[in-house]
Amino acid sequence: MSSASRTLTQAELWAEATDRFGDDPLQWAFQCPSCKDIANGDDFKKVLDDNQGAEQPKRRGRPVIWTDVLGRECIGRYLGALDGGTSPRGCNWAAYGLFSGPWFVTMPDTDRHAPSFALAPEPAVAPVAEPQPEAVRAGGEGS
Give the DSSP per-residue string, 71-83.
Answer: TTB-GGGGTTGGG
Q: How far apart are CA 98 and CA 109, in angstroms?
A: 26
Q: Which residues of the chain have pLDDT under 70?
A: 1-3, 52-56, 124-143
Q: What is the pLDDT of residue 52?
A: 66
Neighbours of 127 (CB within 10 A): 6
Q: What is the pLDDT of residue 15?
A: 96
User: Do the Cβ atoms of 102 and 5 come closer than 8 Å?
Assistant: yes
Q: What is the pLDDT of residue 1?
A: 45
Q: What is the pLDDT of residue 41?
A: 95
Q: What is the pLDDT of residue 123?
A: 79
Q: What is the pLDDT of residue 143?
A: 47
